[in-house]
Amino acid sequence: MRKKIFRISVVIILVGGVVGYFVYNMFYGSAVDKSYTVVLEEGESYSVMVDKVKANMDYHVAFDFYADRIDLDRSIKPGTYTIERGMTVIEIARMLKIGNNAAVRLTINNARTPEALAGKIARQIDADSVTMLAALRDSRLISELGYNSPEEMFSIFIPNSYEVYANIEPHELVRKMKIESDRFWNRETQRAGLERVGLTPLEVMTLASIVHEETAAVDEMPRVAGVYMNRLRDGWLLQADPTLKYALGDFSIRRVLNEHKSVDSPYNTYMYPGLPPTPIAMPDMAAIEAVLNYEEHDFYYFCARPEMDGRHNFARTLKEHNRNADAYHRELNRRNIR
C-alpha cells in the first residue's frame, strides 16, 4: 500500500512539475520566434489591437490572462511597436500598457515652405500632412513659442536627424523642435557666431536660406554670405534673386527680369532694405555655418559664371559686376533661356 501511495505521489510531483514548467514557460519563456512591427491605430477597438499583436506570437491564453490581470484593455496605448524576438508574454503586455512604442529617426531637411515640411514629416511619423500642417499653422502654438507667423516659426527646424516616437502628436513634435533649436543656438560655437555676425537666430536662418538658394557650392557659401553681410552693414539693398522667386511663389524661374523686380512684397529685396521677414527656404547646415563664419572681404556683387557650372564671379565695383553680368546674359541668350 505504501509503495502504491509513493508511486502515486511521485507521478503527481512529476506531472505537477511538467505542468508548472509549461505554465512558467508560457509566461516567462520566449513567445516570439521572429521580430515584427505592429501599428495600433487611435480609435481601434481593444480586440482589434490585441489580435494584431497576437498574430505572430505564441501563448495567446497566457497573454489574455496576464493582460486581464493588469487591466490592459483600459490602458493600451496606440502607436508603432516592435515586438522583438525572444520577448515574453509579460514583456509584451507591459510594453503595450506603458506605451513603449518604436522610435524613428526623423530627418528634417530640404523644405522650402511649411506645406512641404509637413509633407516630409508626415511620411516619417504616424501623422498625415494635413494634421501636421495644422500644427505648423496653429496660431496659439505659434504664439506660445514666441513667433508671429508659420513662416517665422519655420526657422526652428534645424536640418538634422532626430529620434522621436512614431506616434508623437504634431503639436508636441513642434515643441520638441523648438527645444532642439534652443539647444543648438545655445552651444558655445553658435553663441560665438551670433555675437560675431550681430544677428538673431531667426535672422541667421533667413540669411542662410538665401545663401542656400544662391549656390550649391559649399566652399563658395562663406564668400556669398560675406557679400550680403557687407551690404547689410553698409545699408545696401540685398538684391537677392531667390527672394524674388519666393515672393512670386515660383522657384522655377531661370532668368530674373525687371518685371519680376516690381512685385510688391516684403520679400522683394530689390525694393525693401534689410533681410526679408522670414527664411525663404530651409537652409542646410553648410549655409548656416557659412553665415556664422562668413568670409571677410570687400566684394559687394556676385553673378553666376557663364560656364553655367553653379559657381559665381565676385566683384568689388559695379563696373566690374556689369562686365560679369553681361557675359552671363550673353550665355543665357545663346542657350535661349528666357
Using the predicted structure, report yes or no on whether residue 16 has a pLDDT greater than 50. Answer: no
Residue closest to 71 by CA, chosen among 51, 44, 53, 98: 98
DSSP classification of residue 298: -
Any residues with CB less than 8 A from the CB of 213 and at least 6 apart, and which? 242, 245, 251, 280, 281
Number of other CB atoms surrounding residue 268 within 10 Å: 21
Q: Map out the domains of the chain as residue ranges.
A: 15-98, 103-185, 191-297
Using the predicted structure, report yes or no on whether residue 69 has a pLDDT greater than 60. Answer: yes
Digit-coded pLDDT (tens) for 120-174: 999 998 888 999 999 999 999 999 999 999 999 999 999 999 988 877 889 999 9
Number of other CB atoms surrounding residue 163 within 10 Å: 8
**Taking a C-beta distance cutoff of 8 angstroms, is the pair 248, 260 a contact?**
yes
Q: Over pLDDT 90: what percentage of the chain? A: 62
Taking residues 170-180, what's their average pLDDT? Answer: 93
Taking residues 6-19, what's their average pLDDT? Answer: 45
* pLDDT confidence tier of residue 24, bands split at 50, 70 and 90: low
CA 26/CA 292 separation, integer angstroms: 60
103 or 318, greater pLDDT: 318
Q: Between β-strands 103-108 and 79-83, what pairing exists: parallel, antiparallel or unpaired? A: unpaired
Domain at 15-98: CATH architecture: 2-Layer Sandwich (3.30)
**Taking a C-beta distance cutoff of 8 angstroms, is the pair 30, 88 a contact?**
yes
Taking residues 191-205, what's their average pLDDT? Answer: 97
* pLDDT confidence tier of residue 2, bands split at 50, 70 and 90: low
Using the predicted structure, report yes or no on whether residue 108 has a pLDDT greater than 80. Answer: yes
**Taking a C-beta distance cutoff of 8 angstroms, is the pair 78, 40 a contact?**
yes
pTM for the whole structure: 0.74
CA 56/CA 92 separation, integer angstroms: 12
What pLDDT score was predicted for residue 18?
41
Digit-coded pLDDT (tens) for 216-264: 999 999 999 999 999 999 999 999 999 999 999 988 888 888 899 999 9
Using the predicted structure, report yes or no on whether residue 6 has a pLDDT greater than 50. Answer: no
Amino acid at 206: T
* pLDDT confidence tier of residue 102, bands split at 50, 70 and 90: low
Q: What b/e readout covers 296-322, taking b as 16+ CB neighbours within 10 angstroms?
A: eeebbbbbbebeeeeebbbbeeeebbe
69 or 9, greater pLDDT: 69
